């Protein structure tokens, strides 16, 4: 098997040497909002020096439901950052809730926005990888701006009810519709988010597998977005590793857990599953 690309979300404070020593060869740069990344030159230099493969996770405040071309100007900054670290994949959340800001959301606006973004990025040889998410995520409750390692959204779920079956199915079909019908658009498959929407993540993955360029890994019990260590929830990683291997997908696999210790354990767990296949 060729090299498996494994990584984590990072911030300016991340110790890249430590990541490298623990066998990670990829990083995902993540900032929550404000149309900016506050990564300093030193960390960007270290990403290059250490030969890390990189992915950029775009901030959540790009609103695909809004007809506002001003948002698109910000892509110049993301392109500049991507070039600095030789990154050719940008990850963007789909945010496909059915009632967006209390109005029925219009998928045609989302499609048009995606087409415009894909066109801008195409000229720079950068691919947009739309991430499947779970419905109604209220990002106000995500506290940490740069480190997904410290991510805790439990308070959000205490205030909100669990999704009904139709909402879940609608979210999946909207996502697949976009991935299949927007020319030049690719996918980031988030396994944990998928597990909240469907009991069969492998079947979901199968429907878009030719478009998936990045995989996000974490576990849950199919109810809420717990970001548990792999093996601690209900996801069948034997089956999923099998599917990845069958489709020759070798990464990037980005591990999204709440602590570095959990991330290390998750990586070990998943690599073992891959090797067993």
Which chain residues interact with Zn ion by CB under 5 A? 190, 216
Least CB distance to Zn ion at residue 7 (A):
12
For residue 230 the two structure tokens come to 């792999």
Closest CB to Zn ion among residues 190, 226: 190
Question: Which phi-psi region, left, alpha or beta, contains residue 271 (left: φ > 0; alpha: ψ -120 to 50)?
Answer: alpha
Do the Cβ atoms of 190 and 225 come closer than 8 Å? no
Place of tokens 């205030």: 159
- Given CA atoms 143, 98, 126, 204 in this order, what sign does their dihedral have? positive
d(CA 240, CA 205): 9
Closest CB to Zn ion among residues 37, 255: 255
d(CA 276, CA 216): 20
Longest CA–CA separation in the chain, Å: 49
Closest CB to Zn ion among residues 174, 216: 216
| Residue nearest Zn ion by beta-carbon distance | 216
Closest CB to Zn ion among residues 46, 193: 193
Least CB distance to Zn ion at residue 103 (A):
26
Closest CB to Zn ion among residues 216, 264: 216
Least CB distance to Zn ion at residue 32 (A):
13
Least CB distance to Zn ion at residue 34 (A):
20
d(CA 147, CA 163): 27
State phi, psi for 30 to the nearest 5 degrees: -135, 130
Least CB distance to Zn ion at residue 42 (A):
26
């Amino acid at each position: 098997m060729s090299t498996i690309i494994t990584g984590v979300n990072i911030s300016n404070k991340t110790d890249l040497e430590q990541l490298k020593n623990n066998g990670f060869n990829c990083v995902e740069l993540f900032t929550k909002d404000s149309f900016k990344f506050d990564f300093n030159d030193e960390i960007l230099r270290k990403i290059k020096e250490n030969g890390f493969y990189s992915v950029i996770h775009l901030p959540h405040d790009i609103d695909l439901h809004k007809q506002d071309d001003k948002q698109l100007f910000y892509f110049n900054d993301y392109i500049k950052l991507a070039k600095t670290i030789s990154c050719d994949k940008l990850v963007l959340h789909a945010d496909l809730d059915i009632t967006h800001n209390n109005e029925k959301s219009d998928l045609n606006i989302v499609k048009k926005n995606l087409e415009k973004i894909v066109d801008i990025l195409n000229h720079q040889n950068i691919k947009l990888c739309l991430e499947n998410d779970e419905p109604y995520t209220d990002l106000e409750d995500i506290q940490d701006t740069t480190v997904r390692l410290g991510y805790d959204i439990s308070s959000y779920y205490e205030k909100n009810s669990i999704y009904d079956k139709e909402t879940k199915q609608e979210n999946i079909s909207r996502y697949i519709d976009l991935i299949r019908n927007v020319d030049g658009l690719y996918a980031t498959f988030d396994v944990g988010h998928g597990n909240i929407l469907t009991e069969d993540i492998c079947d979901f993955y199968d429907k878009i597998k030719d478009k998936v360029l990045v995989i996000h890994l974490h576990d849950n019990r199919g109810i809420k977005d717990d970001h548990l260590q792999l093996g601690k929830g209900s996801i069948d990683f034997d089956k999923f590793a099998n599917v990845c291997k069958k489709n020759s997908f070798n990464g990037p696999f980005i591990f999204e857990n709440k602590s570095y210790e959990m991330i290390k354990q998750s990586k070990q767990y998943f690599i073992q599953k891959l090797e067993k296949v």
